[in-house]
Structure 1
Amino acid sequence: MGLSLRADAQANRDRLLEVAANVFARSGADASLKAIAAEAGVGIGTLYRRFPTRDDLIEAVYRTQTDSLAGTAATLLTAHEPTEALRAWMERFVDYMLTKQGMADALPAILAAHDGLSAHSRVALHDAVHKLVAAGQEAGTLRRDIDAGDVLMALGGITLITGHEHQRELASRLITLLLESLVLGRP
């Protein structure tokens, strides 16, 4: 059985991951760990106790954000009708990918070093899209021939084309085009 962290230790860990994600997005994977700790309101020793290496921190940020994004599918479906839930998730996916840009140079080595992390991420995101698409199909608003993997590939293409914050509006327009192609009754 794994040990769970005390509430204050868990709060510190969560804050470190949130701050690190923002700092990496702004300044890249080589950002100062001391600055991350300071911005999170903890000492550098606390950061190193939780994440002994920079790669450990980057891996934890990546895993946490991927799992968080995947988990939002169910939440969005309880708050919105399926097509709007899918749109909201797609928008969040683009934002998620934008935050990964700062870690882009470090991620390939980390994904290679952490056996199964890449597959875990791919499966988690695929399952989230599948859940959203299936809900839309069940509601009769989305086409029956949609493949979740295809939707993820299309989203990946959108993020590749619009890979900078100043192109965020373009990403939303492309999401609208993609979503319109998935709606029942459209070509």
Structure 2
Amino acid sequence: MPADLGPEKARKPRADAERNRQKLLNAARAAFTAQGGLVSMEEVARTAGVGIGTLYRHFPTRDGLLVEVYRGEIARLCQEAELLAATKTPLEALRAWLLLFVDHLADNIVLGDAVKATAGESKADATAQLLTALDILMDNPIAVGAMPDPGVESLDLLRALYGVATASPSSNWVGAARRMVDILIAGMDSRETSPNSA
């Protein structure tokens, strides 16, 4: 057997395994987003087109799979924050990311609630990552003079948008949350001196 076939053969299982893992995460994300944490592992494997043994090799527990899917969504949001900060003006980047957060809630609010119910520590870690990303996006417009220091915390913004998302079962909340982004930006962008800043 030629010597150069050995490494190639060794690489193929890893590539196949990574493809299967991604299929499972994609299938699980769709299922968890629609149904929360009660989706069966069998359903995820069937949707991904892999055997149940393959699923359990990658994700031994449903909670572990649930957390991994949610971590992927949070990582994507944090990456978007970096990209926006590098390609848009500071105030535009902040607004664009808050709108992405609204979209994230629309797609993943059921998933996030399921993670909180089954693995609260992971949800807390995810929130900390989001706050770190948002802190930078809030600091940038202040640093360049595009926005005065609004005297609010990043968590205040996330809570405001999450509150709109959960205040009513109406499907219209996404539009309301997107309008809230503009209200928040307008309020923070006010050039008037706050009574507390004197």
Shared fold by TM > 0.5?
Answer: yes
Displacement of 1:186: 5.7
Question: Does the CA-based 8 Å contact 1:19-1:39 persist in structure 2?
Answer: yes
Match in the other structure for 1:123: 128
Would you say 1:76 and 2:81 are equivalent positions? Answer: no
CA distance in 2, matches of 1:12, 1:88: 33
Would you say 1:152 and 2:158 are equivalent positions? Answer: yes
Higher RCO (CA 8 Å, separation ≥ 6 residues): 1
One of 133, 136, 142 as aligned partner of 2:138: 133
Would you say 1:57 and 2:76 are equivalent positions? Answer: no
Partner letter of residue 153 of structure 1? Answer: R
Give the TM-score normalised by structure 1.
Answer: 0.81
| Closer, same or farther: CA 89–165 of 1 in aligned 2, 3 Å | farther
Question: Does the CA-based 8 Å contact 2:94-2:137 persist in structure 1?
Answer: yes
SS at match of 1:6: helix
Would you say 1:169 and 2:175 are equivalent positions? Answer: yes
How many residues end up aligned between the 2 structures?
180
Would you say 1:41 and 2:49 are equivalent positions? Answer: yes
Partner letter of residue 13 of structure 1? Answer: R
CA distance in 1, matches of 2:88, 2:169: 27
Displacement of 1:125: 0.9
SS at match of 2:146: coil
CA distance in 1, matches of 2:169, 2:51: 33
Structure 1 gap ranges (5+) = none
Displacement of 1:163: 6.1
Q: Which moved more, 1:97-106 or 1:168-177?
A: 97-106
Give the TM-score normalised by structure 2.
Answer: 0.77
CA distance in 2, matches of 1:147, 1:103: 25
Cα deviation digits, residues 30-69 of structure 1 (max 9, x gap): 2243332233333322222111121111111122212221
| Closer, same or farther: CA 57–125 of 1 in aligned 2, 3 Å | same
- Cα root mean square deviation, aligned: 2.5
Displacement of 1:103: 3.3
SS at match of 1:131: helix
Runs of 4 or more, structure 1, over 6 Å off, are none
